[in-house]
Every structure is written in C-alpha cells, then in structure tokens.
C-alpha cells in the first residue's frame, strides 16, 4: 500500500532534498563562527570542574592511552608532518 501523505515522495519523483550542499554549509558555518570561538576559556574549565580531577588519575589515563595507541599516534604524527603548516 502506497503512502499518500503530502510528505511522501514517490519513487519516480525527483527529491531536491537529497542533493548535498555540504561544502557550502561548512563555509557558512565557518563564516558564522569566525571570531566567536574562544579556546581554553577558563569559564568552561570551571564549569566542567576540571580542577577537581585528580592529577594522578589524569597521568594514568594519559599513559594508558599512549601505551594502547602508540602505533596510531605515530601514524597521526607522520600525517601531520606531511600536512600544511599552521597559519
């Protein structure tokens, strides 16, 4: 039984919603966020209570991450070295 609601698009009807405008959307987002992003905002760290996390726990997590992902980290570093320099 075919769906006859107004929202339904028949299989033989062109669907303009399927077209991708990802590139233009990304450009629009970049332009909109220009000079609005704040990196390392102390208010965010305070809100997340980052200062309350035990430093030994953080060190253990970082060491474990590096041990488990050594090969992947090396690949990423090599890729980054081939990339464009930061402006």
Average pLDDT value over all residues in the chain:
81
- pLDDT by residue, tens only, the chain of 87 residues: 555 555 555 555 555 555 556 667 888 888 898 888 888 899 999 999 999 999 999 999 999 999 999 999 999 999 998 886 665
The closest of 73, 77, 48, 53 to 63, measured between CA atoms, is: 73
Whole-number Å distance between alpha carbons of 28 and 85 = 24
Whole-number Å distance between alpha carbons of 57 and 50 = 12
pTM of this structure: 0.45
CA distances from 64 to 12, 73, 86 (A): 54, 13, 29
**Residue 45 confidence (pLDDT):** 92
């Amino acid at each position: 039984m075919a769906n006859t609601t107004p929202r339904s698009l028949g299989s033989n009807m062109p669907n303009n919603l399927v077209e991708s405008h990802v590139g233009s959307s990304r450009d629009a987002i970049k332009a909109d966020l220009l000079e609005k992003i704040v990196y390392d905002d102390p208010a965010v760290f305070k809100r997340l209570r980052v200062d309350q996390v035990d430093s030994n726990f953080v060190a253990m997590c970082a060491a474990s991450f590096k041990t488990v992902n050594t090969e992947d980290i090396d690949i990423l570093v090599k890729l980054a070295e081939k990339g464009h320099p930061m402006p």
